[in-house]
Amino acid sequence: MNKIKSKKIINIAIWTVGILIILAGAAVAGVHMYVANSLPKIEGEVDLAILDADVKVTRDGTGVPHIVAQSDADLYKAQGYVQAQDRLFQMDLSRRQASGRLAEVIGENAVSTDKFFRTFSLRHAAEQSWNEYDDEAKQILQWYAEGVNAFIDEVKGTSKLSYEFKLLGYEPEPWTPVDSLTIGKFMAYDLGGNWNMLAFRHWALQNYTEEQMAELMTQYPDNAKSIIEANLNNPVDVAGAFNVELLPNEFNGSNNWVVSGDLTASGKPLLADDPHLGLNTPSIWYQMHLQSPEQNVSGVIFAGIPGIILGHNESIAWGVTNVGPDVQDLYIETPNPDNPTQFKYDGKWEDAIVRAEPIKVKGGKTIDFEVVETRHGPIISELVFKKEKPTAVFSMQWTALQPTRELRAIIGFNKATNWEEFETALNDFRAPAQNFVFASTDGTIAYKANGDIPIRKKGDGQLPVPGDSSEYGWEGFIPYDELPTVINPESGYIATANNQIIGEEYPYHITKFWAQPYRYERIVEMIESVKESIGTVDEETDKVYEGFTRAEMKAMQIDKKNLYAAEFLPGFLETIKANDQEGKYTDIIALMEEWELYDNRDDAQPLIWHFLIEEIKETIFKEHMPADVYEMMPGKYQIMDEMLRKAYAGNEGVWIKQAGGLDQVVYGSFERAIADLKAKYGTSITKWQWGSYHKILFKHPLAGASDFIASYVNPATMGSGGSRVTVMAAATDANGNINHGASWRFVADLNNLNYAEHIVGPGQSGHFKSKWYDNQVSRWVYGRYHRTYINGEIDPAYDLILKAQ
């Protein structure tokens, strides 16, 4: 009897579990069906009353929309509608973050982020910029906003609204032209910052000797005694005062190069560009093709902005890298102890502007917040805590906080047919400063370092300066016609990779802190190698090599040779061998000596190299400063590199000495790196692989909410080659996740601009149920491009007709 009861109980339990599994499966299936219902319509017809005539939207096999309209008005309206179809949540989150309005939909956890971006005044600057635009640009922004709002009106209050809004429990507000401009200002923030360098150096002056400071700066300002004294005598709180998680990535940069027809098989120029930005889901870029009777242009744009910022039309192609100039200055302001909104200037108390910026908080009370703005810019040093009566605070002057007209430049790019027209348009692209490379079908190749770069009354942008004196400040910008420019050089090519772009003879200050030179040097090395091969005969085929084709340009973009290791590894190995008295590391030394210096994902050597160089960096710096100050310190690699060069030349500096001397720094770091690797990957070095650690992660902004959500919204990770110093740029977070690198790869052949070749990882769509959500992840890893045509040849094609009413 008991056995029968037991069997019944077991059967009931089994059935119960089974029913729960079925119900859970049904619930999951229901969720999937619900989420899938918000996929955008990409075929058939949609009524769109805002249009004057029908517009055809064809998505190709990679999900790239080709919009063909009978007027620019309808083109920009359709662009807004289509972008919103694929990326509305991303667009809304972007405008909220840049405007300091995330807490409204996320809650208290976003308050510090909102305070940060309210203080940095991006939306305020966008509002000022709106007033500077001409009627044509304002009209384009309004047309675009009409298109976005047409889609919002269509899906609001229905299951067609993207699932992310449902998860967070809110609906999007109408889009405005200023929203687009605010997103543009956010990109200037992401690409144009050096304030943290100044804040770090201010802190360092308080805490380090002059000898230590001299090594931390590429050029110690010996002739700036008054500036140094102002920093020493007026300390501003830095440690613990800033949210370092909101700092732009230190490695925001890019590669671009252009070669003339003299070096190509076709006799026409070739151009390549790959901007290095955060790698997220969805991509920061949205690829599109826009066609009307007035333009036919293809490329990428930030979701939330009209036009095409990078790409090509039927006559020209262009791309950018970050110049990285000093365009942010910190001023040490002296507040009135009796009135915290007054600051000393030339012996008098001057009233600051105070802007009320109340922050609404989901599920909480509205927080009263104020932004205080001096004549130089907003006070930025009181974000985390506020002293009752601080004796000194930082204000920030920044080129992007002026009214600027970048959209005016984009309109010009899209319709330009030659260098003269393109350079005229460039005059409106002021922030962020960018290295533009250009090629046209008439054979011209050209370059310009473009943007507003300040001319200072005193100082050279290396340290904060006194804010209480009219002796400091800006007296204008480098004249447009005197910005670095190259047209049709004798070398036959132009390349930039955030490297130093000027010589000692250049009369203006841009920066003293350029990126490490290794990507640029490798690009030049490869171009020169091709130049030397032109005219040679292949012994197997008897064919004469005629020069660059698209294939060489694409291969260069995913090149993984590590010139950083080429410079330092020989010295490191000599040090390691000299200190490895017991022969503990003979096998690893031999392995490293065999390395051909490519950061290939299946090899152990790049794993060992990168763990070693990180350990050396931390050994020299990390223990000697607070954790947040360490994160604020930019250029750690460049500074360390120079210290190591001098040490190997027989001149150990104070930082190397205090870490135990060169031998201890290198050998001790090596021992710790190997111990760490063995703990992570086992003692068999034959099984170590760079790709086991170095994995691409296109993270979704909602992934942090839970592992369950992350499992749906994050594309699968993949091991990848490359690194932060290779042309195939792939920088990681502390866990080895590649979160920064080539956000878009682009190659254009001016012999045939009917198409160009692209990679936009992880994919075009922002909807995880779309087949174009993460279909370019493996393409990103392996360098597999897709072609995007601007004159027909779209197969397969998904046609959607936007019907005018």
Share above pLDDT 90 across residues of the chain, in percent, rounded to a whole number: 87
Alpha helix positions (H), 659-762: 662-663, 669-681, 690-693, 707-713
Query: In which region does residue 139 sit, left (phi positive, over 0), alpha (psi from -120 to 50) or beta (all else)?
Result: alpha
Peptide bond between residue 762 and the one before it cis (omega within 30 degrees of 0)? yes
Would you say residue 386 has pLDDT above 60? no
Q: Which residues pair with 718 in a beta bridge?
A: 696
pLDDT of residue 251: 74
Sign of the dihedral defined by the CA atoms of residues 419, 420, 421, 425, in that order: positive
Given 633, 656, 688, the domain boundary residue is 688
Question: In sequence order, which residues have a C-beta less than 8 Å from that of residue 449 and are 6 or more positions away?
Answer: 323, 433, 434, 435, 436, 483, 484, 485, 501, 510
Position 635 in a domain: yes
Query: Contact at 8 Å (CB) between 321 and 435?
Result: yes
What is the spatial distance between Cα 452 and Cα 438, in angstroms, rounded to a whole number? 20
Residue 501's nearest CA partner among 488, 512, 487 is 512
Given 641, 672, 688, the domain boundary residue is 688
Q: What is the pLDDT of residues 450-475, one digit of tens each?
A: 999 999 999 889 999 999 999 999 99
Answer with the residue of higher pLDDT: 159 or 389: 159
Question: In sequence order, which residues have a C-beta less than 8 Å from that of residue 516 and are 6 or more positions away?
Answer: 564, 637, 638, 641, 725
Position 29 in a domain: yes
Query: In which region does residue 753 sit, left (phi positive, over 0), alpha (psi from -120 to 50) or beta (all else)?
Result: alpha
**Phi, psi dihedral angles at 50 (to 5 degrees):** -75, -15
What are the catalytic residues? 254
Q: Which two tokens stand for residue 206?
A: 């308080």
* pTM across the whole model: 0.94
Q: Which two tokens stand for residue 428?
A: 């409106």
Would you say residue 212 has pLDDT above 80? yes
Query: Contact at 8 Å (CB) between 726 and 609?
Result: no
Q: How many CA atoms lie within 13 A of 749 on its CB side?
A: 21
Position 339 in a domain: no
Given 655, 688, 721, the domain boundary residue is 688
Number of domains forming the structure of the chain = 2
Q: Which two tokens stand for residue 187?
A: 């990109």
pLDDT of residue 230: 92
Domain boundaries, position 27: 1-36
326 annotated as ligand-binding: yes
176-190, 536-550, 737-751: segment of lowest average pLDDT: 536-550
Q: What is the pLDDT of residues 69-108, one digit of tens each?
A: 999 999 999 999 999 999 999 999 999 999 999 999 999 9
What is the spatial distance between Cα 761 and Cα 775, in angstroms, rounded to a whole number? 8
Position 291 in a domain: no
> Average pLDDT of 237-255?
84
Would you say residue 3 has pLDDT above 60? no
Would you say residue 621 has pLDDT above 90? yes
Average pLDDT of every residue of the chain:
93
Q: What is the pLDDT of residues 540-595, one digit of tens each?
A: 888 999 999 999 999 999 999 999 999 999 999 999 999 999 999 999 999 999 99
Give 110's DSSP letter.
G
pLDDT of residue 258: 98
Position 163 in a domain: no
329 annotated as ligand-binding: yes
Q: Which amino acid is located at 361 in the chain?
A: V
pLDDT bucket at 356, cuts 50 / 70 / 90: very high
Q: What is the pLDDT of residues 254-313, one digit of tens each?
A: 999 999 999 999 999 999 999 999 999 999 999 999 999 999 999 999 999 999 999 999
pLDDT of residue 32: 62
Q: Which two tokens stand for residue 633?
A: 């310190």
Beta strands in 572-688 (DSSP E): none
Position 296 in a domain: no
